[in-house]
Structure 1
Amino acid sequence: MQHPTSRSAVFPSGLPGGRCCARLSDMGARTVPQPPVWLPPALLALAVTLTDVAGAQLWRDELATWSAATRPLGDLVRLAGTIDAATGPYYLLMHLWVAGAGDSVAALRLPAVLAMTTTAALTALLGARLYGRPAGLLAGLLFALLPSTSRYGQEARPYALATVLAVLATLVLVTAVAPSPEGRRTGDRIRWAGYAAALAALGLTHLVALTLLPAHAVAVLVARRRHPDRRILGPWLLALVPMVLLVGPLVWVAHGQHARQLDWVDPARPADLAALAGGLTQSGVVGGLLVGLAALGAATVGRSALLPGLAVLLPVLLVFAVGVLVPLWVPRYLVFVVPFGCLLAGVALAGVPFLPALTIVALAGTLGLPAQAALRRTHEWPRSAVVDYAGAAEIVADGQRPSDAVVYSPRESWLFLDLGLAYHLGDNRPQDVLVTASPARRGDLWAAECARPAPCLTDADRVWLVLAGRHDDPLAAVPGAKGEALRDGRMVEQVWHPSGLTVALVRR
């Protein structure tokens, strides 16, 4: 199929470009009823993300979500003021969700499943709005099959919600700047109000996702230039006000927590850009295929690629530029740009007959199968680095006695050893004798321990020692005063090595 070149270079939305992929010759007769363009991608995404949704056990970040979401509201507010303000609104949402749905692995991940399912549907709608039904349908189907859709659709973290809100805000913006019939000012106000709400929700869910705003600003300016008789810039600026009022204080508090929250992140390097596509899609080969298709789609439609192209490039370049100076470059923070890459890929796929295009989409899904299988084993990276919290908890549960104690090393670690056992054992875990203040009481993700461990261990005849990593001599691996107190008059009775951890039973 040849893309038309003689049509007006203006979208129905008032953005540059045209419905370049309005139909395919082999899509079937016009008399055959077609399902809504969003339905097949949504059903496919739902089926894929629900498949073995509880296969991988909660990993460290999800344990932090569980810890925050299960705290009383007062403790949750204290946590946001201490270390995790940027994620505080998401934790509040999960607090309300857990109160009704419970805290099983599947229940914790279901909001992300629904978010990615909705993202696939909205991607198809946005693609159909900008480039025609075939491009939208193929873009949504491709997004549904990406390993990253499963990865973040099966994780109790805010990235899936940020992704759906990024696409929703963009779709509402495209609708809002579209020329409307005379007398439809009420409809315009409703659309701009919807955009303001989506944008505010996006900022509250994921601050980094607001790097999408420059792409929206360019789209608004282009639409204003093409339609000088319409009020576009003023309503757009007004729609930013709720976001500024709600997100501004959050940014201020989060800025003060930046050093502690991201102390594990290295400065960005040029090589990180080359690896980004594989990191975002969770598969190097699938990422390469997506970039190739997106580049082909952008070259095909030229200026029509402005909005989705900038929605990918500007957030990436902005986060990279900031990440060179301060710790910020984490590929998963940019997962919200993936649907926009799929839009451009959908344009490229719509330029060939439908069955070959579907074959390419299926090929992308097939190439991603190894990554799909791996992410359902663990969310750790690399995929071989499984941290088996459930296995450690089972070992302790099978051998513990009522008077046993438990000690973790290291305590203030991003592995959250204590949260892992707390999730799997609940109140049936051994007494944490070194704790002087719980994470909830401190408004933190970690507990405070005895400054002098020896007196706190005096009455502990049997101690379950849980360590990060594999250690053949567990007592020697515990540093400082805690290690000295454990080694004083005690010996190791038995050692287990669940993946990524060491569990030792220590007795007098």
Structure 2
Amino acid sequence: MGAMSMPRQLPVWLPPALLALAVTLTGVTGAQLWRDELATWSAATRPVGDLVRLAGTIDAATGPYYLFMHAWVTGVGDSVVALRLPAVLAMTATAALTAVLGARLYSRSAGLLAGLLFALLPSTSRFGQEARPYALATALAVLSTLLLVTALDPPPGSRPARRWARWAGYAAALAALGLTHLVALTLLPAHAVVVLATARGQAGRQRALGGSGAHRSIVRPWLLSLVPVVLLVGPLVVVAHGQRARQLDWVDAARPADLAALAGGVTQSGVVGGLLVGLAALAVAALGRAALLPGTAVLLPVLLVFTVGALVPLWVPRYLVFVVPFGCLLAGVALAGVPFLPALTIVALAGALGLPAQAALRRTHEWPRSALVDYAGAARIVADGQRPADAIVYSPRDSWLFLDLGMAYHLDDHRPRDVLLTASPARRGDLWATECARPAQCLAGVDRVWLVMAGRHGDPLAAVSGAKGDALRAGRTVEQVWHPPGLTIALIRR
């Protein structure tokens, strides 16, 4: 008995889209904004001029996404739900597009099962509940690939204007992909392989019929569709390359063991990642050359990023999350080869195996999941105990934890005076502030100081180094200490 087909009146994309929407909206506010999302909030709430300066200083690669989020926040607001809603909608669209692409390439059953599987993956929830560009890039990766397939195989008798419109749509999606996530352009070599394979096949058929020229007719519009990518994304690549050392100074060189762990990293669950790889391998063995598009869309980006990452800091598993839908496409083909009910059971099993990861990522986006940084809890402690003349000090101020941004988001305009601040991140065109060069002078006359520190410290004053620590210790003592997860809060008074 073959796989049961869907009712023809039901769009193949609808069940995966509804499932992805329901899953990603469930517990969307469970994990508080983490450090990367705080950077998004900080950037998106700045004026456009300040955003341009930020892009020129440190975050050019994410600049277009920040501009999009600036417009979004201006219209929708900056609550946790508002900040994450674009990612929710993007992952919903990805599930739908994956189903459509699977139906176009293989069968309706393969598309449906691929879309449902993608909707249930922990990574779909993880990056669908994060105010960062990865979900948008994933949607655009599948969209551009679908548009490429459509352009390469137009309906018989379609007019030239319609064919060029298809290529224009592909070019627009590809440019948007590059502007959203530079690393996702490693999908281009896979597209090139598919274009060349299609051109070769069509040229062979035309030669058999006594014609010629198919190779040129297919490759030329594809090459032309790359022009907007070069013009729009090229300058961004140049600027971002100059910022790489500062932007990625925390990334280690890629090692062979990283490849083995990649499936678990991009799916956010080792067991689910292993299941996905197993199903995809079965499909590749069964499909042969028909697996070319999804197979190269997974392998080529991974191998390219790994190769570059072995030489320069670049290997970050979440940068490759856009390949996951193509793995799901292959898995959908494998599942479509068995009766529908058992296939659906395997999809449900994948969802069940991912439940521990689903629950954990809704507590925190930090890794490991036990490393919660409770910005909201720290803000409540300060809000409950502060007085009008209080000051606040951060240690360290220049870390990737963005202590000041976390307190600013949760306390808004009601936080104590940032007594050491001399230049805000927005003014500097940066993600970090500039502090007073002579802390003792800036702290003079301040009776009560709220010290916010990264990590757990039994003696907070002793843990602050340099001139800042000397100034805090001079004539002051710790009145009370709190330890919200990942942080230390100390009330210091003269």
The DSSP-based 3-state class of the residue aligned with 1:58 is coil
Counterpart of 1:156 in structure 2 is 131
C-alpha offsets along residues 61-81 of structure 1, whole Å, 9 cap, x if unaligned?
000000000001110110000
Alignment CA distance shift 1:180-1:402 (3 Å): same
Alignment CA distance shift 1:166-1:258 (3 Å): same
C-alpha offsets along residues 397-418 of structure 1, whole Å, 9 cap, x if unaligned?
0000010000000000000000
Counterpart of 2:459 in structure 1 is 473
Is residue 460 from structure 1 mapped to residue 446 from structure 2 by the alignment?
yes
Partners in 2 of 1:183 and 1:259 — Cα distance? 49
How far residue 27 of structure 1 moved from its aligned partner, in angstroms, is: 3.3
Q: % of aligned pairs identical?
A: 82
Partners in 2 of 1:280 and 1:182 — Cα distance? 42
The DSSP-based 3-state class of the residue aligned with 2:387 is coil
Partners in 1 of 2:456 and 2:379 — Cα distance? 16
How far residue 227 of structure 1 moved from its aligned partner, in angstroms, is: 1.3
The DSSP-based 3-state class of the residue aligned with 2:132 is coil
Question: Superposed, which structure 2 residues align to 1:106-505 within 5 Å?
Answer: 106-228=81-203, 229-230=213-214, 231-505=217-491
Counterpart of 2:68 in structure 1 is 93
Q: Does the CA contact (< 8 Å) of 2:422 and 2:436 recur in 1?
A: yes
Counterpart of 1:62 in structure 2 is 37
State the AA in 2 paired with 1:248: G
The DSSP-based 3-state class of the residue aligned with 1:180 is coil
Partners in 1 of 2:13 and 2:324 — Cα distance? 17
How far residue 215 of structure 1 moved from its aligned partner, in angstroms, is: 0.2
State the AA in 2 paired with 1:109: R
Alignment CA distance shift 1:83-1:398 (3 Å): same
C-alpha offsets along residues 200-259 of structure 1, whole Å, 9 cap, x if unaligned?
000000000000000000000011111124311000000000010000000010011000
Partners in 2 of 1:131 and 1:460 — Cα distance? 70
CA RMSD of aligned residues (A): 0.9
Q: Does the CA contact (< 8 Å) of 2:439 and 2:468 recur in 1?
A: yes
Partners in 1 of 2:107 and 2:314 — Cα distance? 37
How far residue 184 of structure 1 moved from its aligned partner, in angstroms, is: 1.8
How far residue 56 of structure 1 moved from its aligned partner, in angstroms, is: 0.4
How far residue 304 of structure 1 moved from its aligned partner, in angstroms, is: 0.4
Partners in 1 of 2:146 and 2:402 — Cα distance? 39
Counterpart of 1:21 in structure 2 is none
C-alpha offsets along residues 28-63 of structure 1, whole Å, 9 cap, x if unaligned?
7xxx55410000000000000000101100000000
How far residue 350 of structure 1 moved from its aligned partner, in angstroms, is: 0.3
Counterpart of 1:8 in structure 2 is none
Q: Does the CA contact (< 8 Å) of 2:454 and 2:488 recur in 1?
A: yes
How far residue 181 of structure 1 moved from its aligned partner, in angstroms, is: 2.1
Is residue 27 from structure 1 mapped to residue 22 from structure 2 by the alignment?
no
Partners in 2 of 1:299 and 1:174 — Cα distance? 22
Q: Does the CA contact (< 8 Å) of 2:5 and 2:108 recur in 1?
A: no
State the AA in 2 paired with 1:245: L
Counterpart of 2:58 in structure 1 is 83
Alignment CA distance shift 1:183-1:148 (3 Å): closer
Q: Does the CA contact (< 8 Å) of 2:3 and 2:338 recur in 1?
A: no
Partners in 1 of 2:275 and 2:91 — Cα distance? 21
Partners in 2 of 1:181 and 1:470 — Cα distance? 67
Partners in 2 of 1:50 and 1:389 — Cα distance? 22
The DSSP-based 3-state class of the residue aligned with 1:378 is coil
How far residue 451 of structure 1 moved from its aligned partner, in angstroms, is: 1.2
C-alpha offsets along residues 59-112 of structure 1, whole Å, 9 cap, x if unaligned?
000000000000011101100000000000000000000001100000000000
Work out which of the residue numbers 24, 29, 42 in structure 1 matches 2:17. Answer: 42
| TM-score relative to the length of structure 1 | 0.94
C-alpha offsets along residues 104-126 of structure 1, whole Å, 9 cap, x if unaligned?
00000000000000000000000
State the AA in 1 paired with 2:119: A
Partners in 1 of 2:3 and 2:224 — Cα distance? 44
Partners in 1 of 2:372 and 2:59 — Cα distance? 25
How far residue 186 of structure 1 moved from its aligned partner, in angstroms, is: 1.3
Q: Which runs of 5+ in 1 are unaligned?
A: 2-23
How far residue 460 of structure 1 moved from its aligned partner, in angstroms, is: 1.2
Q: Does the CA contact (< 8 Å) of 2:3 and 2:336 recur in 1?
A: no
How far residue 26 of structure 1 moved from its aligned partner, in angstroms, is: 3.5
Partners in 2 of 1:133 and 1:34 — Cα distance? 12
Partners in 1 of 2:251 and 2:3 — Cα distance? 50
Task: Judging by fraction of residues, say which structure has more helix.
Answer: 2
State the AA in 1 paired with 2:436: C
How far residue 179 of structure 1 moved from its aligned partner, in angstroms, is: 4.5
How far residue 182 of structure 1 moved from its aligned partner, in angstroms, is: 3.0
Partners in 2 of 1:34 and 1:392 — Cα distance? 53
Partners in 2 of 1:179 and 1:72 — Cα distance? 44
Partners in 1 of 2:423 and 2:320 — Cα distance? 36
The DSSP-based 3-state class of the residue aligned with 1:227 is helix
C-alpha offsets along residues 293-343 of structure 1, whole Å, 9 cap, x if unaligned?
000011111110011000000000000000001000000000000000000
C-alpha offsets along residues 107-161 of structure 1, whole Å, 9 cap, x if unaligned?
0000000000000000000000001100000000000000000000000000000
Alignment CA distance shift 1:481-1:167 (3 Å): same
Counterpart of 2:210 in structure 1 is none
The DSSP-based 3-state class of the residue aligned with 1:467 is strand
Counterpart of 1:20 in structure 2 is none
Alignment CA distance shift 1:183-1:382 (3 Å): closer
Partners in 2 of 1:63 and 1:299 — Cα distance? 44
Q: Does the CA contact (< 8 Å) of 2:3 and 2:337 recur in 1?
A: no
Partners in 2 of 1:92 and 1:351 — Cα distance? 44
Partners in 1 of 2:185 and 2:435 — Cα distance? 38
State the AA in 1 paired with 2:222: W
Q: Does the CA contact (< 8 Å) of 2:103 and 2:111 recur in 1?
A: yes
The DSSP-based 3-state class of the residue aligned with 1:463 is strand
State the AA in 2 paired with 1:77: V
How far residue 25 of structure 1 moved from its aligned partner, in angstroms, is: 5.4
The DSSP-based 3-state class of the residue aligned with 1:489 is coil
Q: Does the CA contact (< 8 Å) of 2:403 and 2:452 recur in 1?
A: yes
State the AA in 2 paired with 1:454: A
